[in-house]
């Protein structure tokens, strides 16, 4: 290598070192300037995000229990004869209405009437015997013991007459209350006993509604509460009043049985209908409702983000009942606070945001 080539090689190395130093200097300058390149200062000069928000307002929160139940007859009984005998006459019409005290059927009573006639004769004879004995007793013609025996005999005959009269009364079957009869199970001429069922009788106005509620909600129930319910096949909403609560919690289902009564003058409701029940237990005024998505679980409990002075600030909150897609906030925020609803996973406390789209929760809940 001659002298000229050596000089050119030295100059080339010098130029390369100079270019390398220049590149290192430029890179250091970029890292030193915030907001440029991919260094630690990334994002600090970016503009604030536009977010959705809402204003905390006081609303009425209604606590409602939803359940399913069945309709029951207000009164129901199986009509059976009180004595054995031949079924002589049936007076009711199947599926028809009867009033309290109406004659439903009669049994044959010829033997009882014959027995009663015999006893009446014995009564007359015993009365005459006792009257004659009283006259003899007055003149000491008989002893007091003989007179007492005849008096007892008369009383026994009268007692037998009363037993026979009761037996005759029991050959007639009456409706114990006003209601609707079902389908008869016996025919005229059949020999029946008190174990045979003639027909069922149900009172369906008013009608009862029975349903179960979970144990945790039982403390909110009391008699006199108003409920609404619907039944399959009818679009009408019916109103009922709670009149009785079970005294014990069912150990198998952990539920409490509730009964309500509903007017049924038009006969639309029938025992056995399946019912969907809605029971309002309480109404809370000025309750703050927020979307359930706005609540974020944290180690300390639950929190949501507020917007104050354009900055994101976290607030630990306590929640209560739910209503549709919203949940009640019982503590941690106040009416009038601005609540962040979007970008919840992207923001950090202290970030600057611009409230953009206002979400009216009151209109959305209606």
For residue 43, tell me if it sits in a domain.
no
Residue pLDDT, tens place only, 175-187: 999 999 999 999 9
For residue 328, tell me if it sits in a domain.
yes
pLDDT-based confidence at residue 30 (cuts at 50, 70, 90)? very low
Quote the percentage of the chain above a pLDDT of 70: 86
Considering the domain architecture, whether residues 119 and 149 belong to the same structural domain is answered as yes
For residue 36, tell me if it sits in a domain.
no
- d(CA 68, CA 297) in angstroms, rounded, equals 33
- pTM for this entry: 0.63
Tell me, what CATH number does 176's domain have? 2.40.50.100
For residue 17, tell me if it sits in a domain.
no
Considering the domain architecture, whether residues 100 and 175 belong to the same structural domain is answered as yes
Q: Is 33 left (phi over 0), alpha (psi -120 to 50) or beta?
A: beta
Token pair 């006792």: residue: 130
Say if CB 39 and CB 31 are below 8 A apart.
yes
Considering the domain architecture, whether residues 215 and 243 belong to the same structural domain is answered as yes
Which of 284, 310, 332 is the last residue in one of the domains? 284
For residue 342, tell me if it sits in a domain.
yes
pLDDT surpasses 50 at 207: yes
Query: What pLDDT, on a 0 to 100 scale, did the predictor assign at position 47?
Result: 80
Considering the domain architecture, whether residues 340 and 253 belong to the same structural domain is answered as no
pLDDT surpasses 80 at 244: yes
Query: What pLDDT, on a 0 to 100 scale, did the predictor assign at position 59?
Result: 81
Considering the domain architecture, whether residues 305 and 339 belong to the same structural domain is answered as yes
pLDDT surpasses 50 at 196: yes
For residue 231, tell me if it sits in a domain.
yes
Considering the domain architecture, whether residues 163 and 180 belong to the same structural domain is answered as no
Considering the domain architecture, whether residues 333 and 280 belong to the same structural domain is answered as no
pLDDT-based confidence at residue 328 (cuts at 50, 70, 90)? confident
For residue 28, tell me if it sits in a domain.
no
- d(CA 140, CA 137) in angstroms, rounded, equals 5
CB atoms within 10 A of CB 6: 10
pLDDT surpasses 50 at 28: no
Name the residue range of residue 278's domain. 66-74+205-284
- d(CA 92, CA 79) in angstroms, rounded, equals 12
Query: What pLDDT, on a 0 to 100 scale, did the predictor assign at position 62?
Result: 76
Exposure on the CB side of residue 176, measured as CA atoms within 13 A: 12
Tell me, what CATH number does 338's domain have? 2.40.420.20
DSSP string for residues in 108-175: --HHHHHHHHHHHHHHHHHHHHHHHHHHHHHTTSS-HHHHHHHHHHHHHHHHHHHHHHHHHHTTEEE-
Query: What pLDDT, on a 0 to 100 scale, did the predictor assign at position 34?
Result: 44
Considering the domain architecture, whether residues 94 and 70 belong to the same structural domain is answered as no
For residue 12, tell me if it sits in a domain.
no
Count structural domains, the chain.
4
Query: What pLDDT, on a 0 to 100 scale, did the predictor assign at position 362?
Result: 67
Tell me, what CATH number does 264's domain have? 2.40.30.170
The C-alpha angle with vertex 25 and arms to 20 and 26, in degrees rounded to 5, equals 100
Question: Mean pLDDT, to the nearest integer, of 343-361?
Answer: 87
pLDDT surpasses 50 at 107: yes
């Amino acid at each position: 290598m001659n002298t000229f080539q050596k000089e050119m090689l030295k100059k080339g190395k010098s130029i390369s070192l100079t270019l390398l130093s220049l590149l290192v200097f430029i890179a250091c300058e970029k890292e030193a300037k915030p907001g440029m390149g991919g260094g630690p200062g990334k994002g600090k000069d970016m503009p604030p995000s536009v977010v959705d928000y809402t204003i905390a307002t006081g609303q009425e929160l209604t606590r409602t229990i939803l359940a399913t139940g069945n309709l029951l007859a207000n009164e129901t009984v199986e009509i059976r004869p009180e004595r054995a005998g031949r079924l002589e006459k049936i007076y009711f019409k199947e599926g028809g209405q009867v009033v309290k005290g109406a004659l439903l059927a009669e049994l044959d009573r010829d033997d009882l009437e014959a027995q009663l006639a015999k006893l009446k004769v014995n009564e007359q004879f015993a009365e005459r015997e006792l009257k004659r004995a009283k006259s003899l007793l007055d003149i000491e013609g008989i002893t007091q013991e003989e007179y007492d025996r005849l008096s007892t005999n008369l009383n026994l005959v009268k007692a037998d007459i009363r037993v026979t009269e009761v037996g005759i009364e029991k050959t007639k079957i009456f409706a114990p209350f006003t209601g609707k009869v079902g389908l008869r199970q016996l025919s005229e001429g059949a020999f029946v006993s008190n174990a045979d069922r003639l027909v069922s009788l149900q009172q369906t106005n008013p009608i009862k509604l029975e349903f179960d509620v979970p144990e945790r909600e039982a403390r909110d129930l009391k008699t006199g509460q108003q409920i609404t319910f619907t039944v399959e096949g009818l679009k009408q909403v019916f109103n009922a009043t709670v009149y009785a609560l079970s005294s014990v919690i069912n150990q198998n289902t952990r539920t409490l049985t509730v009964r309500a009564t509903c007017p049924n003058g038009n006969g639309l409701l029938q025992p056995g209908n399946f019912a969907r029940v809605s029971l309002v237990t309480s109404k809370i005024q000025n309750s703050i409702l927020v979307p359930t998505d706005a609540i974020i679980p944290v180690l300390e409990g639950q929190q949501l983000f507020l917007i104050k002075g354009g900055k994101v600030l976290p607030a630990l909150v306590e929640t209560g009942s739910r209503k549709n897609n919203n949940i009640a906030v019982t503590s941690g925020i106040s009416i009038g606070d601005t609540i962040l609803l979007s970008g919840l996973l992207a923001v950090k406390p202290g970030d600057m945001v611009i409230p953009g789209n206002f979400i009216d929760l009151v209109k959305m809940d209606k």
